Amino acid sequence: MTPVPGIARNRRGLSSLPALAGLLLLTLGLSVFLGVADLSVSDIMSVLAGNGSPEAQSIILDIRLPRIVTGGLAGIHFAVAGLILQTITRNPLADPSIMGVSQGATLSVTLFLLFSVFLRDPGTTARITEMPLEWLPAVGMVGGLIAGAAVYALAFRRDLGPLRITLCGIAIGAVLHAIAIGLIAGWGSARIEVLLEWLSGSLYARSWEHALFLAPFTIAGLLALLPIRRALDLLQFEAPVARSFGLPYRQHFSFALFLSCGLAASAVGAVGPIVFVGLIVPHLARALAGAKTQLLLPLTVTLGAITITSGDLIGRLVSQADEIPIGAVTAVCGVPLLIALLRRTP
Amino acid sequence: MLLACSKLTVTYGGRIALKSFDLTLQPGEVRALIGPNGSGKSTALQAMAGLLRPSGGRAVIDGVAVDAIPRRRLARQLAYLPQQPTAPDEMTVAQLVRQGRFAHVGLLRSYSADDEATIGWALESTGLLALADRPLRELSGGERQRAWISAAIAQEARILLLDEPTSFLDIGYQVEIIDLVYRLSRERGVSIVMAIHDLNQAMSVCDRISLLAKGETVFDGDPKDLAETGLIETVFRVRGTFVPIAPNAPPHFDVELAHRQMRDGVLAR
Ligand SMILES: Nc1ncnc2c1ncn2[C@@H]1O[C@H](COP(=O)(O)OP(=O)(O)OP(=O)(O)O)[C@@H](O)[C@H]1O
Ligand SMILES: [Mg+2]
């Protein structure tokens, strides 16, 4: 029997995972210790040890930690959703927005805010604090899923090809986006702020409720990925090839699509449409993993969490009290990264 | 009888690409499909692999229509090499060949020593052991084609459908793949249907040969008999002669090249 040579050429992939895990811990730590409110290190340490002043406790436990956890989970969602979509559509530019998920969520949140304000308080301008913000994640997620389902149904009626999915997604996404923008434009001023905040992707005032909203989806999504890893490998091929290797293509394509839409829609609901994470993180992970494709998923998960946590930290620190929303940070940092990645690929 | 097509008809948007195609394949038989470009060879193979829905007729394995067999079970019985497959950029040769085992391991079972041995055998049979860890994108056209052949034979199916397996190979590897096909059929009892353009290779290796022209089967039988029909010259619009090369072997087709006459004419002048 001839031994099959191991895939040993690429050592980068192997060492990058612990390094990234370290980096993740570092960003998490920094995010706890650095922020707009000036807390001394000893204050923070004592909070972490279970004591500390009530003020420090509330800043760390009720503001910073839930924000970090929510951001990290959302980052994982966007990155993994992007990875799945890029894999199954064989389109390196795919991200959750091509399934219309972000746009569907945007429209549903817009409609929801519009109607809830209108129904609650007809005639007057409701104050932002009275808005039913606790519903936004669920509403956004449902909107995102409906848009994803519409794209799926349109593409499914003919053949469920990757190109058709992409085109349907772009078309439906554009329509939904236009409607949402139209509604926002024709609408009063006071409430726009909440919406803009959400639209630009923000971690401001994210509470444990947001983290708890996301966590079940994160766990279910990642667990569901494990048994379909080989199917995802095969979905990288054209349908006839995947089929002749023995994969029921349509079922697995649909399931993977459903999984990525669920991950993306729940994250969009919780933190708004944060752009570029779903697009870029999978490319970074691929560059680091090289031929060690089994590392692709763990690297994507780690990098997804790092990207949002560090992006949020930068946004908080750069402008102090007037935070720059995370969505703006990822967009600004994402473009040079994308260009750099494009330059190094042959 | 292992694989049988009866009156298989395939149309693409109203245009008939394959008309009433009949074929029977015995265990261990090598069948060559020849015919001009666009004559329906790839179409026939895809229909046999259950990848196209025929508009008429059917292909059956052991009496069951191929499109009624669940994909993974079908893949354990039948492996198919497309004419011009593409693979993801980063995938290495070994990773591609591993996909050939999916039909056996499925989503969850881990690769056994047997699976690994088969992968090693498939790589070795196609001369790829030294290239196993190279990404496909860094390979030459012929090396890539061998990697795909390797993945198809790693599937260890009883039926192997090969669409032009030798078209990008140098003459050395062409002979090696033709020999591999022959050995698979004789030593392992694999039944093979192979679309191929090299007439002499087709005639030398196959037990039976089908000649397609514009979607219709114009010949189905023993390669030696094909020589006597004169169909090659009409279907391919060439002139040539069949030259006997050995007592028991099918004759070689020696095609007359147009420029030879021209050159001879120039030289004679
Ligand atoms: N996907 C398709 N859509 C429409 N027409 C097709 C498609 N595939 C093949 N055809 C047509 O069907 C006919 C048969 O094509 P097929 O690919 O089977 O030929 P072939 O014998 O394999 O040719 P070649 O030697 O060039 O590989 C051709 O006329 C071709 O134009
Ligand atoms: Mg062909």
Q: Which of B51, B105, B129 sits opposite A243 (nearest CB)?
A: B51
Ligand 1 atom with minimal separation from the B10 CA: 12
The stretch A197-225 carries a mean pLDDT of 82
State yes or no: pLDDT of A323 exceeds 80: no
pLDDT in the model for residue A11: 44
Q: In whole angstroms, what is the distance from residue A35 CA to residue A64 CA?
A: 8
Structure confidence by residue, pLDDT tens digits, B91-109: 899 999 999 999 999 898 8
Q: Which of A5, A231, A293 sits opposite B90 (nearest CB)?
A: A293
What would the two tokens of residue A98 be?
A: 């091509």
Q: How far is the CA of B164 from the centre of ligand 2 (A)?
A: 7
pLDDT in the model for residue A129: 46
ipTM: 0.89
Chain B residue numbers touching A9 (CB-CB < 8 A): 133
H helix runs in chain A, sequence order: 12-33, 41-48, 54-57, 65-89, 101-120, 136-157, 162-185, 192-199, 208-225, 229-235, 239-244, 249-271, 277-289, 296-318, 326-344
Residue A24, φ and ψ in degrees, nearest 5: -60, -45
How far A79 CA sits from the closest chain B CA (Å)? Answer: 19
CA atoms within 13 A on the CB side of A172: 28
Residues A290, B91: C-beta atoms closer than 8 Å: no
pLDDT in the model for residue A120: 58
Q: How far is the CA of B37 from the centre of ligand 2 (A)?
A: 7
State yes or no: pLDDT of A3 exceeds 60: no
Question: Which segment of A79-88, A245-254, B182-191, B259-268 scores lowest on mean pLDDT?
Answer: B259-268
State yes or no: pLDDT of A13 exceeds 60: no
Largest CA distance in chain A: 82
pLDDT in the model for residue A14: 54
The stretch B154-178 carries a mean pLDDT of 91
Q: How far is the CA of B17 from the centre of ligand 1 (A)?
A: 7
Q: Is B16 helix (H, G, I), strand (E, B) or coil?
A: strand
pLDDT in the model for residue B207: 93
pLDDT in the model for residue A2: 39
Q: In whole angstroms, what is the distance from residue B256 CA to residue B251 CA?
A: 15
Q: Annotate A182-203 with DSSP letters as a single string.
A: HHHHTS-STTHHHHHHHHT---
Check residues A322 and A54 and name the one with the higher pLDDT.
Answer: A54
How far A224 CA sits from the closest chain B CA (Å)? Answer: 12
Structure confidence by residue, pLDDT tens digits, A157-171: 766 677 788 888 888
Check residues A14 and A253 and name the one with the higher pLDDT.
Answer: A253
Check residues A6 and A255 and name the one with the higher pLDDT.
Answer: A255
pLDDT in the model for residue B261: 65
pLDDT in the model for residue A128: 46
pLDDT band for position A247 (50/70/90)? very high
What would the two tokens of residue B20 be?
A: 């009433």
Any B CB within 8 A of A228 CB: yes
Q: Share the mean pLDDT of chain B.
A: 89
Check residues B190 and A27 and name the one with the higher pLDDT.
Answer: B190
pLDDT in the model for residue B35: 93
Any A CB within 8 A of B132 CB: yes
State yes or no: pLDDT of A58 exceeds 90: no
Any A CB within 8 A of B94 CB: yes
Any atom of ligand 1 within 6 Å of the Cβ of B37:
yes
Domains and their CATH numbers in chain B:
3-236 (3.40.50.300), 237-269 (no CATH)
Domains and their CATH numbers in chain A:
21-344 (1.10.3470.10)
Q: Share the mean pLDDT of chain A.
A: 79
Any B CB within 8 A of A342 CB: no
Structure confidence by residue, pLDDT tens digits, B223-249: 888 888 888 888 888 888 888 888 888
Any atom of ligand 1 within 6 Å of the Cβ of B39:
yes
Query: Cβ distance A253 to A235 under 8 Å?
Result: yes
pLDDT band for position A222 (50/70/90)? very high
Highest mean pLDDT among A36-50, A227-241, A273-287: A227-241
H helix runs in chain B, sequence order: 41-48, 71-77, 93-99, 102-105, 113-125, 141-154, 171-188, 199-205, 223-229, 231-236, 258-268
User: What pTM did the predictor assign?
Assistant: 0.85
State yes or no: pLDDT of B262 exceeds 70: no
pLDDT band for position B38 (50/70/90)? very high
Rg (CA), chain A: 21
Q: CA B79, A252, A219 angle in degrees (round to 5)?
A: 135
The stretch A247-273 carries a mean pLDDT of 88
Structure confidence by residue, pLDDT tens digits, B187-212: 889 999 999 999 999 988 999 999 99
State yes or no: pLDDT of A126 exceeds 50: no
Query: Cβ distance B120 to B132 under 8 Å?
Result: no
